[in-house]
Homo-oligomer: A and B are copies of this chain.
Amino acid sequence: MSSHLPPLSAIRAFEAASRHLSFTKAGDELGMTQAAVSYQIKVLEDRLGFQLFTRKARKIELTDSGAQLATRVVDAFSSLRSAFEDISEKNASQLVVSSNTTFAVNWLAYRLFEFQMKNPDVGVRIVPYGPNAEPDFNESDIVISACKAPPKTWPAHEIVRADFTPMLSPKLAETIGGISKPEDLLKLPLVDPQDPWWQMWFEAAGLANVDLSGHPSSRMGSQALEANRAIAGQGVAILTPYFCRTALESGQLIQPFELTCRANNESWYLSYPPALRSSRKIRLFRDWVHAELKNDGMPVAAPVAVTG
| A contacts, CB < 8 Å to B | 1, 3-6, 8-9, 11-12, 31, 45-46, 48-51, 54, 63-65, 68-69, 72-73, 75-77, 79-88, 90-91, 138-139, 141, 273, 275-276, 279
| CB-CB under 8 A for A91 and B9, given A76-B77, A85-B3 | no
Give the residue name and chain of the B residue nearest to A72 (CB): B83
Which residues of chain B are near A75, meaning CB under 8 Å? 79
Contact A49 B5, CB 8 Å, known A63-B138, A65-B91, A72-B83:
no
So how many copies of this chain end up in the complex? 2
- Sample (13) of A-B pairs whose CB atoms are under 8 Å apart: A3-B85, A5-B80, A46-B275, A50-B275, A50-B276, A51-B138, A51-B273, A64-B139, A65-B87, A65-B139, A69-B83, A69-B87, A72-B79
CA distance A86 to B73 in the complex (A): 12
Given A8-B8, A50-B91, A276-B49, A73–B83 Cβ distance below 8 Å?
yes
For residue A12, which residue of chain B has the nearest CB?
B8
B54 x A138 contact (CB < 8 A): yes
Report B-chain residues with C-beta under 8 Å of the C-beta of A11: 80
Flag if B81 contacts A1 (CB, 8 Å).
yes
* Cβ-neighbour of A79 out of B6, B8, B63, B79 (below 8 A): B79
Question: Which chain B positions have C-beta within 8 A of A80?
Answer: 5, 11, 72-73, 76
Interface contact B139-A63, CB-CB below 8 Å: yes
* Additional A-B contacts beyond A8-B8, A72-B83 (16; CB < 8 A): A3-B81, A3-B84, A4-B31, A5-B84, A8-B12, A45-B275, A48-B87, A48-B275, A49-B276, A50-B273, A51-B138, A51-B139, A65-B90, A69-B83, A72-B80, A79-B79
A161 to B80, CA, bound (A): 55
Known: A51-B139, A63-B138, A79-B72. A84 touches B6 (CB 8 A): yes
